[in-house]
Amino acid sequence: MKRLRTVARRIVLAAACLLPVAVLDGCEEFDDAPKASLVGEQQTRMTTDPADPLVVAFSEPIVGSSLRVKLLELRRGDLDGELDLPDEQDPPDLERMKERTLLAYDGAAPSDPARTYGAAFALAPDRRSFTISPQRYDPDFDEVKDRDLAVGAAYLVLVEPGLRDDAGNATVPRTYIPFTFPLAGGGPTTLPSGYYFFLMDLDLLAQQLQLYAHLVVDPATGDWQGIYTDADRSTSQRPGCPVCPAATPACQLLNPALDRCVLVSDKMTALEQFSDHVPVPELPGGYIFRVNGFARDEADGTIAFGTAPFDIDIRIGSGGIRIQATRTVITGSFRRGVVSGVERWVAVGSAAVDAVLINGVPSGTAEGTLSAIDLTTPEVEAVEGLGEPIPTVDSDY
């Protein structure tokens, strides 16, 4: 929500300054606060090497003492249903936020190890860029060494409010720069073939894609083929469900804090809620798409994964809005975790769409976050018992 308000403010300012000068005479002299960006980041994907330092660029010289920046490594469950970070939630989870913070810098306290740690930091002489060289302590040798970031992991550069320029203009909201180092190709992997559930939150019309997937993985090369199927909330009568009215016909059992009866299209707030959903492969309400990808086991026990570009073609609402997401790419990392009381593969990552068409009209690009889990055989059987089978790679769709 906070990020959406930030984007809205920028849109309002941009739109205002397109009006005639007689209407808004001050736009040409408007001096905004400094803007931060990450060198090499393109739609959440890094074009630099994970071993290279991170470089944060600024739109103008900054006041060094006003810079406060963190690097977070995000995992499943760190973001809530509104995509807020742990310290932005109600109540704030400060301990979890601390655990996810790999490094931090406070320009007002660069020598305080409680506020500046985890890297070597350098502000350029022109004060228009800031270099971050991640480090780690090696207890075996009692020394600090360079730290390479991980392929496929979900990172976030967080620039705190108050970043100022020489004129005193300061940022008000946080600046969020999510990024991932994409996997360039596959390798030997233990990622299992089988059924998965993916959840993607895109900044395109605030869309959330809920997807069952079936993957066939070559363990020697890491190459995989997948078919993804739309998932909607089930309207089937199940134990524990009330009789839901026509206006809100779907029953949710996995989110007891909210109403039991909801819209079929209501968003999920946690991966555990997948079992409230059934596959919907057919138009007009559903869709499928096929993906070619690759995976590779990493030295830290994770499995990095990525995809070749693919297309998504969906309808929303009553079918009157058609969204075509072309040259979409997803990238991320699986690690072992527990979801719904079952130890399994759990992923976080990002999605980037190179071109979006809405009802045939070019509408820019899109990006977002993703999470995923592999499913057990009893879970698949329970889901398919509520509706259609989950399509497989060798199906006729």
Q: pLDDT tens digit string along 196-209?
A: 999 998 876 678 89
Q: Which residues, 6+ apart, have CB-to-CB distance to 298 below 8 Å?
A: 150, 151, 152, 304, 333
Tell the burial category of 353 from Cβ atoms under 10 Å away from its Cβ (0-12, 13-18, 19+). Answer: buried
Rounded to an integer, the average pLDDT of 242-254 is: 85
Question: Measured between alpha carbons, how far is 9 from 263 in angstroms, rounded to an integer?
Answer: 30
- Kindly state the tokens that stand for 206: 């605030």
202: enclosing H helix or E strand: strand 194-202
Q: What is the pLDDT of residue 205?
A: 63
Q: Going along 265-374, which residue ranges are E strands?
A: 277-279, 288-297, 303-307, 310-316, 321-339, 342-358, 361-362, 366-374
pLDDT averaged over the chain?
86
Q: Which residue has the tokens 């086991």?
A: 297
d(CA 138, CA 115): 21
Indicate the residue type of 7.
Answer: V
Q: What is the pLDDT of residue 258?
A: 65
Q: What's the helix, strand, coil split of the chain in %, to 5?
A: 10, 45, 45
Give the span between the Cα atoms of 181 and 286, in whole angstroms. Answer: 32
Q: How many CA atoms lie within 13 A of 312 on its CB side?
A: 28
Using an 8 Å Cβ cutoff, are 195 and 275 in contact? Answer: no
Is 76 within 8 Å of 346 (Cβ atoms)? Answer: yes
The CATH number of 33-179, from 2.40.110.10, 3.40.50.300, 2.60.40.1220, 3.20.20.60, is 2.60.40.1220
Residue 13, helix vs strand vs coil: helix
Q: Would the pLDDT of 15 be above 60?
A: no
What 8-state DSSP symbol labels residue 268? Answer: P
With a cut of 90, say whether residue 270 has pLDDT above it. Answer: no
Residue 203 has phi, psi (to 5 degrees) of -80, 5
Question: Which DSSP category does 385 fall into?
Answer: T
For the chain, the structural domain boundaries read 33-179, 194-234+267-384
- C-alpha radius of gyration, the chain, whole number: 23
Angle at 3 between CA 10 and CA 176, to 5 degrees: 100
Q: In this predicted structure, what is the pLDDT of residue 261?
A: 85
Query: How many CB atoms within 10 Å of residue 348?
Result: 24
**Mean pLDDT along residues 220-247:** 89
The answer to whether the beta carbons of residues 70 and 104 sit under 8 Å apart is yes
Q: Is 0.95 surpassed by the pTM of this model?
A: no
Local confidence band at 210 (pLDDT 50, 70, 90 cut-offs): very high
Q: Tokens for 332, please give them.
A: 């991320």
- The candidate with the shortest Cα–Cα distance to 43, out of 202, 226, 192, 234, is 202
Percent of residues, the chain, with pLDDT higher than 70: 88
Give per-residue pLDDT as tens, 77-130: 888 777 789 999 989 999 999 999 999 999 999 999 999 999 999 999 999 999
Residue range 9-18: average pLDDT? 34
